[in-house]
């Protein structure tokens, strides 16, 4: 056997191996779905092999959770509870609709624009009481708050560490 034939055989073998790996990667998720089903999605009476093909998935169920549903809002100031209440209502309706469709929602979140944009002349220390009030209101409804970037320009801020 010549060096050229050995080299060609080696390339051919590598191609076959690569093709097998690609096919496995492509079809593995499909095959796993047929065998790995949480117990809540299987019919309880069908535990024998004769009924293996009769396993069903609930019509409105999904195999993944939604980590976070976020409502982005622009607050007028740090005491803008009307916007917060509106966003909270939206998030609760969204959660119900998604859960009715079979999704599991892990968290609800309100995210604001950068904090300096709605401080309106207040220091961060002065705004803290308003932000705590917002947090109390939304925490009672199972929502978390992201206040946006606190420092938006590249400078030293001696008040930041204390805040």
Q: What is the pLDDT of residues 46-85, one digit of tens each?
A: 444 444 444 444 455 667 789 999 999 999 999 999 999 9
Give how far Cα 51 sits from Cα of 37, 38, 43, 48, 54, Å.
14, 16, 9, 6, 5
Contact assessment for residue 45 and residue 25, using Cβ atoms and an 8 Å cutoff? no
Do both 17 and 40 map to the same domain? yes
Residue range 110-122: average pLDDT?
Answer: 92
Partners of 145 in beta bridges: 110
User: 153 vs 24, which has greater pLDDT?
Assistant: 153
Q: What is the pLDDT of residue 151?
A: 79
Q: Of how many residues is the chain composed?
A: 163
Residue span of the structural domain in which 137 resides: 65-162
pLDDT(44) > 50? no
Do both 7 and 79 map to the same domain? no
Domains in the chain, number:
2
Do both 98 and 26 map to the same domain? no
The answer as to whether 16 is a domain residue is yes
The 8-class DSSP code of residue 105 comes to: E
Do both 15 and 80 map to the same domain? no
Can you tell me the distance from the alpha carbon of 39 to that of 124, in angstroms, rounded to the nearest whole number?
Answer: 51
* 82 membership: H or E segment, kind and range: helix 81-100
Q: What is the pLDDT of residue 153?
A: 80
The answer as to whether 92 is a domain residue is yes
Phi/psi at 65 (nearest 5 deg)? Answer: -100, 150
The residue out of 11, 31, 54 marking a domain boundary is 54
């Amino acid at each position: 056997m010549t060096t050229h034939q050995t080299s060609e055989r080696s390339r051919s073998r590598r191609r076959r191996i690569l093709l097998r790996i690609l096919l496995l990667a492509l079809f593995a998720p499909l095959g796993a779905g047929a065998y790995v089903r949480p117990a809540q999605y299987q019919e309880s009476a069908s535990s024998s092999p004769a009924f293996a093909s009769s396993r069903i998935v609930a019509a409105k169920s999904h195999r993944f959770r939604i980590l976070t549903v976020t409502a982005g809002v622009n607050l007028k100031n740090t005491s803008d509870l009307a916007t917060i209440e509106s966003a909270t209502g939206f998030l609760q309706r969204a959660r119900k609709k998604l859960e009715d469709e079979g999704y599991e929602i892990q968290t609800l979140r309100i995210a604001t624009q950068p904090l300096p944009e709605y401080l309106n002349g207040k220091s961060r220390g002065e705004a803290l009481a308003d932000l705590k009030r917002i947090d109390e209101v939304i925490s009672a409804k199972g929502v978390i708050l992201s206040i946006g970037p606190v420092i938006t320009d590249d400078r030293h801020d001696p008040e930041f560490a204390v805040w």
